Amino acid sequence: MSKPLSEKTADALLDKLSSDDAFRARFQANPKEATRSLGTDDPAVDSLPESEMKALADKEVLNKSRQEFRKVLVESQSPFNPINLETPKR
C-alpha cells in the first residue's frame, strides 16, 4: 500500500521527473531509492516500490499535468489506488 507523500517530496519528485533524464532513469529502475535520494526525509517514501517501472510519463506530460500528478502523490492512497507515474499502454 502506498502512503501519501509530503508536499515537499511530491514537489521535489515532480521537479526532477520533469527535467532530469538521469534521475528519471534511476526512478524508473527503482522508485523508492531514487525518491529517497531527494533527501526530504519523508517516511512515506518507504512505501514506494523498488521494482522497475515499465514506462514513465514523458517530461512534457508531467509538466502539463503537474497539478493532477501532485494531487495523486499527496492525497490519501489505498491498496487499490497506488501511486502511479507510468504511462498507459498504447
Cell numbers at 59, concatenated: 517530461
How confident is the model at residue 59, as a pLDDT? 92
Give the confidence band of 84 by pLDDT, cuts at 50, 70, 90.
Answer: low
Q: What is the pTM of this model?
A: 0.80
How confident is the model at residue 3, as a pLDDT? 81
Collapse the DSSP code of 75 into the 3-class scheme (helix H, G, I; strand E, B; otherwise coil) and give the result: coil
Q: Measuring CA to CA, how many Å separate 81 from each of 51, 72, 77?
A: 17, 9, 6
* CA 86 centroid distance within chain: 9
How confident is the model at residue 8, as a pLDDT? 96
Query: What does the pLDDT average to over 11-21?
Result: 95
Give the confidence band of 78 by pLDDT, cuts at 50, 70, 90.
Answer: very low
